[in-house]
Chains A and B, each alone.
Chain A
């Protein structure tokens, strides 16, 4: 089992650019979560999906953030346009509904 796979591992870009983060959940998991981790705010849930359907996006900070899950094996988190305050580590996690979550190793995003 390869675990949750996130790409890229690191992203450095200039403010105003579009950023797309990618996640491949563990096969058979039907829940997928996107988190953001910063020193100031800790680990924040941005959005989660059950069976590819967004259930709760109340954590998405603003309209510049969007997430999609076109199929059970792929999800994207997009920021457009990006701002320096979006700099953080973004994690994707997956699980079988109500079971412990499995995290990827994250994407470290730096917006200059």
Chain B
């Protein structure tokens, strides 16, 4: 059981907007930056969002991150078939003194 809670799955049709949530605690999300990873089938994870809402070079503006209190969200607008992947949130936990991940959300583009 992950310390950060994500819905196991999400789905939407091309062009739609989807939001993936990541729920934590005061010891992790509330006090530390949240980072998001995209893992395409059979590949290594790729940094998608860092420090809550920053996009690395090359990541489309369709991807955005936000955080409020003990929860964070990843929004994907203008959904495309190539966005079908697993998405993970991650942060530091002050109590565990280590890096923690959400359980991951499998996004299906219908």
Tell me if chain B binds chain A.
Answer: no
